Amino acid sequence: MQSFDPEQALVEVRREFGEHGGVAPSISRSATFTVIDPAVMPEIFQGLRGPDKGGCFLYSRHFNPTVDVLARYLAAMEGTEFALCTASGMSAIACTLLQLCKGGDHIVSSDTIYGGTHALLEDLLPEMDITTTFVDPADTAGFEEAITPATRVLYTETVGNPTLKTADIAALARLAHRHGLKLVVDNTFTPMMISPARLGADVVVYSMTKFINGAGDLIAGAVCADREFIYRLMDLHTGRVMLLGPTIDPRSAFDIIQRLPHLGMRMREHSRRAQAIAERLAELGAPVTYPGLPDFAQHQLVTAMINRGYGYGGMLTLDCGTRERAEKLMAILQNEERFGLIAVSLGYFDTLMSCSGSSTSSEIAPEKQAEMGLSPGLLRIAVGYTGRLEARLVQIERAVRAAGLV
């Protein structure tokens, strides 16, 4: 068990008040900022004077006051020196990898990752001569075997999308550092619950679209790391975030700032509900997978990695065998039981369900899906917290019976 408490760290970080003493921070909506003394402008471009070094803000693709408040809060929550916000999770991941790798370099990645990230690694980056070997995230030795002299990065999701196969972050960090590599971890499924940087990861990336924002109304991403790496990403002349330009709108940053204070509460409730539903499904003999069940293959590993009090997360899967059966169950759950919504994404207050193989993992070829243990009938359920839990348990029991799953 880790002693780090992300919720407490968030409470302790310097709070930003709004203009006129507002309890909410102000939204600073300006594309560019005035320099009073013209001599300061060249110094900003030389990296000598940012708002943190007695200078001033320059241009909102680089540094925006509202976005900067969110970045400070995220760094505190993650236990990293710095953070940076982007317009999407994908841009956070792409900019991070393009900052760490150049043509000729190699990545060793978990094969159990979001379909978009898989496509980035397997299809797009090779066009830039950056290649990837995919390995089982639960097999740390497999990562080591795949390392070559050209390897620069080990990449994994903490709890993998969609099968929930989990990586041993501390072991991967030790491995990466022994070989002089960087460990990049996508922690989208488990914010607050697991703190990869505290376990040794060098860079933690997020799709804030999911649990962190929690309202299903915007797309956003984040990179949390040490000051040196964030400064490299933001370098005015060479930084990948500066050059590729995935800038988050300050209004979106403000919305997330206002939702971060209840992220801990939300994560605990997602976990409480998912645990109860998983236990009920297991009692019924349904093919459920959930990290909080004692028979989950890596239950002990997850238990050792989680921060106290947040439970085992809001994601569970039900392997319905075939896509048709998964679709039948989803239709019953949505249209008859009103249990949740058939939609991609996760971390929303309502339950969201999708059949991963034919949706968010459809970029991955069927034989590779089979290799990573992704069945065509795998139903991914992102458990929400609307409605009474007792009523939800009745609904899901009725639905799995009606779909012939038990």
Instruction: Report the interface residues with ligand PLP, using CB under 6 A.
Output: 88-90, 114, 116-117, 157, 161, 186, 188, 207, 209, 219, 221, 360
Nearest residue to ligand PLP by CB is: 89
**Contact present, 233 and 202 (Cβ < 8 Å):** no
* Secondary structure of residue 184 in the 3-state scheme: strand
Give 57 or 114: the residue with its C-beta nearer to ligand PLP.
Answer: 114
Cα gap 374→179, rounded to integer Å: 31
Give 94 or 306: the residue with its C-beta nearer to ligand PLP.
Answer: 94
Give 137 or 221: the residue with its C-beta nearer to ligand PLP.
Answer: 221
Nearest approach in angstroms of CB 256 to ligand PLP is: 12
Give 209 or 351: the residue with its C-beta nearer to ligand PLP.
Answer: 209
Nearest approach in angstroms of CB 257 to ligand PLP is: 17
Beta strands 352-355 and 378-382, pairing class: antiparallel
Cα gap 27→258, rounded to integer Å: 11
| Structure-block tokens of residue 163 | 């099968």
Cα gap 337→396, rounded to integer Å: 8
Give 163 or 209: the residue with its C-beta nearer to ligand PLP.
Answer: 209
Place of tokens 């990545």: 107
Secondary structure element (H or E) that encloses residue 315, with its range: strand 315-319
Give 143 or 211: the residue with its C-beta nearer to ligand PLP.
Answer: 211
| Torsion sign (Cα): 56, 59, 64, 65 | positive
| Structure-block tokens of residue 211 | 């649990």
Nearest approach in angstroms of CB 41 to ligand PLP is: 34
Cα gap 312→262, rounded to integer Å: 17
| Structure-block tokens of residue 13 | 């970080």
Give 28 or 351: the residue with its C-beta nearer to ligand PLP.
Answer: 351
Nearest approach in angstroms of CB 93 to ligand PLP is: 6
**DSSP 8-state code for residue 335:** I
Output the furthest CA–CA distance in the chain (Å, rounded): 74
Q: How far is CA 45 from CA 52, 59, 82, 260, in A?
A: 14, 11, 20, 32
Nearest approach in angstroms of CB 120 to ligand PLP is: 10
Nearest approach in angstroms of CB 186 to ligand PLP is: 5
